[in-house]
């Protein structure tokens, strides 16, 4: 796995998130997963992914709380 400051590949991210590589490509292409391209290949910073995961968890918690109020 990549070091904290090293850019991660699609394969690295797929393993890190335990999803298929196609899912990583789809989310990155839609702009839903923070990434950038280098010579046409997607790369991701671990710190960006950790922030994204935290945001996803917060959104899920907020959605669950909102559903409980209805």
Which is more confident, 1 or 42?
42
Distances (CA, A) of 51 to 2, 42, 58, 59: 17, 18, 11, 12
12-57 confidence digits (pLDDT tens): 999 999 999 999 999 999 999 999 999 999 999 999 999 999 999 9
The three state secondary structure string of the chain is: CCCCCCCECHHHHHHHHCCCHHHHHHHHHHCCCCCEEECCEEEECHHHHHHHHHHHHHHHHHHHHHHHHC
Q: Are 51 and 60 in contact (CB under 8 A)?
A: no
pLDDT score, position 33: 97
């Amino acid at each position: 796995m990549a070091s904290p400051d090293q850019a991660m590949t699609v394969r690295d991210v797929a393993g890190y998130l335990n999803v298929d590589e196609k899912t990583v490509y789809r989310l990155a292409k839609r702009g839903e997963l923070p990434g950038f391209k280098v010579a046409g290949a997607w790369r991701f910073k671990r710190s960006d992914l950790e922030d994204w995961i935290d945001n996803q968890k917060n959104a899920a918690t907020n959605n669950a709380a909102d559903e409980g109020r209805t």
